[in-house]
Structure 1
Amino acid sequence: MQPPPKRQNIETEVTPSVQETLFEFHQSQFAPRDVSLPLDVLLLILDAVHDLKPPSDALKTLCLCARSCRVMLRPSQVRLYAKVTISRRSEFERFGRTLLDNPKLAALVKTLYTDVGSAYSDVSLLPTDGPLSYTAIRGMTNLQMLTVGGMRKNKLLPSMRRDSPVLEAFIGSFAVSCLQLTFLRLRKVHFGEYTGLVRQVTSFPVLERLKLSASTWGKPGQLTLNEIISTVSRHRLSAFWMLEHLELHLMNDDIRGVVVALRHITSKDMKTICVHHRCRGISEYMPMLYANLGLDEILAGPIYRSLTRVTWRLVSNQGEAQVWLAGLPRCFARLAKRKILVCEWRFEPMYAVCCIV
């Protein structure tokens, strides 16, 4: 029996008419092709992704965009690191390693929120070089807004120490390296001495806005003679020559401290002042105290001509506070005439708030 014949490949001849048809198809709008999106369109897409809710979805999607192609990498990183929030020990460790491995990412951070108290339950657990090392912080040269949450008070151990030289050095590291930082918020940060608090907040060279929320100190402390001589005007509000916004939280008779604070301001760019006065109870002398503070005269001075808003927020659990509020415009006649006075009343339980003035 003879074997079957071998299969032969038959080449199909492409006629001129077929070539012409293929050419016309590839030139038509229906032909498959790679189309590059303009860069501005890509940036608009990334902006929309950045605004996704919840924020966790936005972060995950931006990470996917950064890994998709080389063109999307840098724009995605800019949006990923522009605002960083870290509140767990693992997050502090990963973020620190990331900045050390890729120092260029540190320059992208513009807003940083750190909650040290949530990450470390006791000051003894803080790393010796701080929650973030100085090397990692040094690269954040474009940081503009910083929030530091301090150690939380242990209700079971109320005498547990909450101040730490490591935490103070951590705050001071930003003052040395982040020369564009204009906003600083210290939340529940406890200092061993009042002078330690003063040294920290006055070490930021271009600070415009300072916010202290329930920040406290143990004892007054003292400045050395050399510090007093060399930096006589540094450790007070006069040091903030670029200050634009001031917010004070005071209780009861401590409201007299507002006068001290306003007299030490030297910035000519003040825009807003907000005073939160928490009153534990209504006393008949309080309206007279308001009238005798002389704040209206102080705020009429040349240093405050750029003011656009003065908010006086009375926080009390007494209904009579509304009567006080109605009489406030008489205590601030000049501000009322400039139409920049805003009077508010807030009802809430009383609690102690400590703040620098």
Structure 2
Amino acid sequence: MTLALIGTRPRRRGLRAFHGIWIVLILIAALLAGICIGETRIPVSTVLQVMANRFWDAGYVLDPIDEGIIWSYRLPRALVAGGCGTALAVCGVILQSLLRNALADPYLLGISAGASTGAVLIAVVGIGAAAVPMSAGALGGALLAFGLVALLARMAGGGTGLRGAGQIILAGIAGSQLFNAMTSFLIARSANAEQARGIMYWLLGNLSGIRWDDVWLALAAAILLLIVAFWHMRALDAFTFGAESAASLGIPVRQVQVVLIVVSAMATAVMVSITGSIGFVGLVVPHAARFLVGVRHALLVPASALIGMVFLIAADIMSRIMIPGQTLPIGVVTALVGAPVFAVILIRARTVSR
């Protein structure tokens, strides 16, 4: 028995190393695709030479225009798209587990809409603009929106269990409409025509103005969210069976809920302040990950993070090449792809449940 256990340990380590290599290769391939494919095709060799010049001072002679496009535009854009996809997908996993509802995600629960309102308050109206960054305004709006949604669900009679989860989804839809209306009112009230056009385009999801400062902020938020999700994997597994089951296993239910929801709202707010509101990532990606790896969060969280990253980078590529000479808002692309995929998931789930 002992010898058998000892023999399985090297195999498990080897399997983890194999999976780790594949994850790294997928990450590199996705980033290279995001850099190379666009309005102007750039060879992989040129991208690698730019990286070598920047990181190791290799001394390759390159066209300054190509080097500027790669380093100052496409690489930051691909990194932010990857970080945003990772964060939104993991937020979806967390919220679906906590609420035990397949429709839970930052978009449907009003978190994205509240973050948009908070960001617009800072950017257009100018409330606290001298001291408060857009990401902080978005975080305040996200937390306020979710607080109002939770209060509305409680007042509507939503308790624990499936009924409570259903009530909070309905409250989230109402909250989303409310905060979207508030955002539109603020834009109509305070923005000039040029500002309104730019903000409405940004609200649909826009990666065109990404800079390196945005990269560090987006990656920091995504990494923090991943750390918190990995730290609470056991609790997330328990919440799959309900808050009562989690409490019976000794998990501090309220504390865990507050931590996970606040960190999810923070990550969503940061992404909204950078890219605008992008739907369907947090809704569709967790379902795709469950189909591939099952429901255990030790596998579900990293799988969702990886799929979310690849999905949003691919959506960004499609937004640049679908219409020649024009860049679509990335939120339009995620909706065009995500809505049919989610419909297929719903139909498949109904077929399997029979």
TM-score, scaled relative to structure 2: 0.22
Higher helix share: 2
Task: Pick 1 or 2: higher relative contact order, CA cutoff 8 A, min separation 6.
Answer: 2
Larger radius of gyration: 1
